[in-house]
Each structure stands twice: as structure tokens, then as C-alpha cells.
Amino acid sequence: METLSIKIKISDREYPLKIQADEEERIRKTARIINEKLKTFKDQFGIEDKQDLLAMVLFETFVDVEKYESSINKIEKFFDEQVESTQNN
């Protein structure tokens, strides 16, 4: 796999990264989403402190991850129950 050296900008700071070439689009998209969320929080709440904005974006993101994981766990449990039910019949 080809490795690329890229720079992404988050909250007016550049971060150099070495990534796999096939990950470039996903990484750049993720940086865009983070910057969009930072702008949304800044506009919505009038917050200027970048550390506070980053903390809010991080918190919101992990709340979303927790919701997603909870949904996946419920789906897995449902399928496990269906398989077990089918095997017992």
C-alpha cells in the first residue's frame, strides 16, 4: 500500500499525517466535518475559545458513537435471539 504524507487543518492548526493512500478521502472528509461542527458550535453558542469548541465537538461525537454502538448491540441481541429461537424449534 502506498503511504502519503498530508497535512490536515483543524481549527486553524495544521497537522502532518502519514496515511494509507486509500484513507485520504475519508481523513480529509473527517477533518471537514470537524471544522464544520466547530463553526456550528461557535456560531450557535458564540464561543471563541478553541479548546472549549474542540471539547464540545468531541463530546457530541462520542455521544453519537455511544448511540450507534447501543443500536448495534440491540440489533445483534435481536439476531442472536432469532437464531436461538430458530435452533430451539
pLDDT > 90 in the chain, percent: 89
| Segment 71-83, tens digit of pLDDT | 999 999 999 999 8
Three-state DSSP string of 9-67? EECCEEEEEEEEHHHHHHHHHHHHHHHHHHHHHHHHHCCCCHHHHHHHHHHHHHHHHHH
Q: How many Cβ atoms are within 10 Å of 87's Cβ, its own excluded?
A: 7
In the chain, where are the structural domains located?
Answer: 3-88
pLDDT of residue 85: 85
| pTM tops 0.85, yes or no | no
| Segment 11-44, tens digit of pLDDT | 999 999 999 999 999 999 999 999 999 999 999 9
